[in-house]
Structure 1
Amino acid sequence: MKLLQVRKGQLVYFNNELHKVYSVKPLAKKSVLMFRLKDMEQVASKAEQVSYYKPKHLDSFLFLGARYTLRDDIPAEPGGYIFITKPDPDYMDHYSLNEFEKVESVEGKDVVTTRQNTVKFREFFVMVPGEEPGSNDITYFDKAKVAPEQLDEDALLEEKLREENAIKPSIGDVYLNLDNGATAMVVAIEQDIVTMGTGDKLTFHALYKSDSWNYLYSINSTDSDL
């Protein structure tokens, strides 16, 4: 694509995988900022390295590790997800191209999302969990180029992401060091490395699996959370 053709919200292929553009920085060397739909991994590229894709009925893809199929012929349901491809928000609503929103309630064919947006039925696809019969898998531009090992990893991706989300610590989390009985708080996080107030540095996974550190509470929690 040419840089002038790239817009925030567009779906594009980069390195054979489906991404969504979240920002365009014309003056940057790699001006297209995007995240991979299947796991939200962020990446930057040049405009000529991406190719545009317009989603359609019965397209199927991985989103946060789970597979969904886009349908325009069934009603949305509370608790389900919609994919907004033709945004036409009223002045009180705030959403844009290719946004994922969770349905709070249904009003006729239209929906009210958990972000309190009213979205008209002609603006969105319903995201049906799973791979529907006759669907078109768009996770990869050319699936024939994907190694079998990668497809096996994709099948386990939802569980992997769920575990990573569960073990991800936050600044302000307080842990007990079972080796010496001292407590320490998470004071810094850089990528997947946690720095404790004691100076100890551990990866997310090492902290989660450690026999020496036990989570106590977070200073950011309210009384009702404890």
Structure 2
Amino acid sequence: MNAPSAGPHQPFAPSRVIVDDATDQALLERLRNGDREAFAELVIRYQRPIYNAAFWILRKPEDASDVAQTVFLRVAERLDEYDDRYRFFSWIYRIAVNESLNLLRRGGREEVLDDEGDLPGAERDDPESRAGDAESAARVRGAVLRLSPGDRMVITLRHFAELSYEEMGEVLEIDQKTVKSRLYEARQRLRAMLEDLRPH
């Protein structure tokens, strides 16, 4: 089964993951019964959040697009490995996180920071209405992108994907206490970085 394209380097807007276990399970059942349209529907449901999660870890649109494509290929290849006692979104997010970190590890990939805001949610329509908070938003984006991959990952899952601590624990395969500890430390580093970037 071929995965539909995740789209070339599309800067999707950050979006909350709307978890609907019943819909996911219905789509998976259709997929197991050979319904190819069900796979396309899964891609549509998860394409944007998977791309976003990968982008905020990798910082490069082309790499995030590659990871999103790979994630859906992995889903198609490994569907038999999915245990439906667990949430599908946790499984697919775990694949996305692992693929993103694997890409960072391979060959010492150079991370390029695009200060022009080639970022999810960096639409340029109606600039006047955005002028008031544009500078602040740019500082936050710049600071997040300068964090370590691990810090970017927990910040992304909590503040961009808006996962609960329980959901983050499922994705990262750690307990909630560890989730909270990692998130606290990442937020502290982000705050310190924002102070450094604050105009004086």
Between structures 1 and 2, the one with greater helix share: 2
Considering fraction of residues, name the structure with more strand.
1
TM-score by length of 1: 0.27
Q: Which has the larger radius of gyration?
A: 1
Ranked by relative contact order (alpha carbons within 8 Å, sequence separation 6 or more), the top structure is: 2
